[in-house]
Amino acid sequence: YNRDGRRVRAITSGQYPVKGLAGVNQRTGEVFFTASMRDGRELPIEQQLFRASLRRTLTPVAVTSAGGWWGASMNKTGTAFVGTYTDLNTPSQSALYRADGTRIRWIEENRLEPGHPAYPFASRRGEVTFGELESHGETLVWQMTTPPGFDPTKTYPVVMQVYGGPSGGGVKRGWQGSTNQLLTEAGYIVFRLDNRGEGDRSAAFKQALYLKMGQPEVEDQLLAADYLRTLPFVDDDRIAMMGWSYGGFMTLMAATEPRMGLAGALAGAPPTEWGLYDTAYTERYMSTPEANAAGYAASDVIPRLPNLTGRLLLMHGMADDNVILENSTRVINALQQNSQPFELMLYPGQR
């Protein structure tokens, strides 16, 4: 665009969203950006740094390698960048690179070798597979981590990890965290689906939850639960969900959806009534309570609690100034009034 806002030319084209602008080299006329795509089509589970021309519309060229997840912070002249990289077998590492992707030097190689904190557990990591489900014309990506020594002739309980909210997105070819390791070593399958509205996907994908948070996301997680129950190695009666913050909200919304049939729910710091959350975030997606009364009412967890299935563990940091504790105390009060059993873990002085 020129300084008056008139478009001069398209820099990119194709069925994928540009994630972020990394930098510009005015001397060479190149622009650098991150995107999740390969061969001009969206590939949500990977991310690379690309370069394109400011002077004419050309197919972007990948600066970094495929097969994992790259982040980049570029200098002002667009001649070098700090790159971070991870994949399923590589903990996050960082290095300084030239603009063509040539590594200058390591900043933190983070090699997985004896002495590394994760090395003793590396041989016990579960296998990760990826797949897709279709929902309302959108392609949803999922990942599944199976326990070490997985035997497809046996049945296993499943923990569905969830975030679900805007700018989330956890399904990617990246190093799996310690929670996954803990759960899979305990014999659980860990499953995650990025529902509509989550992650840096297309505008239509992200706008699915506009004015109705807690509705399309739960529909998609229900689709995932139904899919899991078609798998012969999944114990249909032992599917649970866990999440924190928006994921805690999603967990409570799913646990109070009878069709989900969850055996357990672990909800951490859940926003349970969006009028209690900050307006800069909430009204971006839900408008105001006056303009969208129905949407706010539908996303209130309290009226749904009589439908709670399975066991519930509610967790909250008592000094949380983002999702304030009142979000959980109103759930505590309602469950007590309903004589519904639950477990509670509060963390004094913690956010």
Looking at the domain assignment, is residue 49 inside a domain?
A: yes
Same domain, 215 and 71: no
Q: Are 98 and 131 within one domain?
A: no
Clarify whether residues 160 and 94 are in a common domain. Answer: no
Q: Are the beta carbons of 158 and 117 closer than 8 angstroms? A: no
Residue 151 lies in a domain: yes
Burial of 320 (0-12, 13-18, 19+ CB in 10 A): middle
- Mean pLDDT over 135-160 rounds to 98
- Specify if 11 maps to a domain: no
Contact (CB, 8 A) for 50 and 71: no
Please identify which residue in the block is written with the tokens 């009226």.
Answer: 303
Domain assignment of residue 260, given as a range:
124-347
Question: Of the candidates 54, 77, 108, which is a domain's last residue?
Answer: 108
Same domain, 213 and 283: yes
Please report, for residues 36, 127, 163, the alpha-carbon distance to residue 91 in angstroms, rounded to integers and kept in the order given. Answer: 20, 16, 22
Instruction: Note whether residue 116 is domain-resident.
Output: no
Span 88-102, pLDDT tens digits: 999 999 999 999 999
Q: What is the dihedral of CA 62, 65, 71, 74, to 10 degrees?
A: -50
Segment 3-20, tens digit of pLDDT:
999 999 899 988 898 999
Q: What is the pTM (predicted TM-score) of this model?
A: 0.95
Q: Are residues 224 and 251 in the same domain?
A: yes
Q: H or E stretch including 203?
A: helix 203-206
On whether residue 84 sits in a domain, the answer given is: yes
| Sequence-separated (6 or more) residues with CB below 8 Å from residue 303 | 297
Does residue 167 register a pLDDT over 90?
A: no
Contact, 255 vs 302, CB < 8 A? no
195: pLDDT strictly greater than 90: yes
Say yes or no: 172 and 92 in one domain.
no
pLDDT band at 169 (very low <50, low <70, confident <90, very high): confident
Residue 301's Cα: distance from chain center in Å?
Answer: 21
Last residue within a domain, chosen from 81, 108, 135 = 108
Average pLDDT over residues 146-158: 98
Residues 219 and 309 in one domain: yes
* 121/65 Cα distance (integer angstroms): 27
Residue 183 φ then ψ, to 5° = -70, -45
- Residue 351 pLDDT: 92
| In a shared domain, residues 204 and 317 | yes
Whichever domain contains 143, its CATH number is: 3.40.50.1820
Clarify whether residues 185 and 281 are in a common domain. yes
The verdict on 279 and 157 lying in the same domain is yes
Distance of CA 49 to the CA centre of its chain: 20
Domain end position, chosen among 51, 80, 108: 108
Tokens of 220: 């998609």
According to DSSP, the residues that pair with 349 across neighbouring strands are: none
Tell me whether residue 53 is in a domain.
yes
Question: Per residue in 202-234, pLDDT tens?
Answer: 888 999 999 999 999 999 999 999 999 999 999
pLDDT at 294: 98
Domain contains 155: yes
Is 339 inside any structural domain? Answer: yes
Query: Both 131 and 269 in a single domain?
Result: yes
Please report where in the chains the tokens 């909250």 appear, as a residue.
316
Average pLDDT of the segment spanning 261-287 = 98
CA dist., res. 250 & res. 272, Å (int):
9
**Residue-level pLDDT at 14:** 84
132 and 83 in a common domain? no
Answer whether residue 40 shows pLDDT above 90: no
> Looking at the 3D structure of the chain, how many domains does it have?
2
Q: Any idea what DSSP says for residue 350?
A: -
Q: Distance of CA 320 to CAs 132, 155, 269, 296, Å?
A: 35, 39, 8, 22
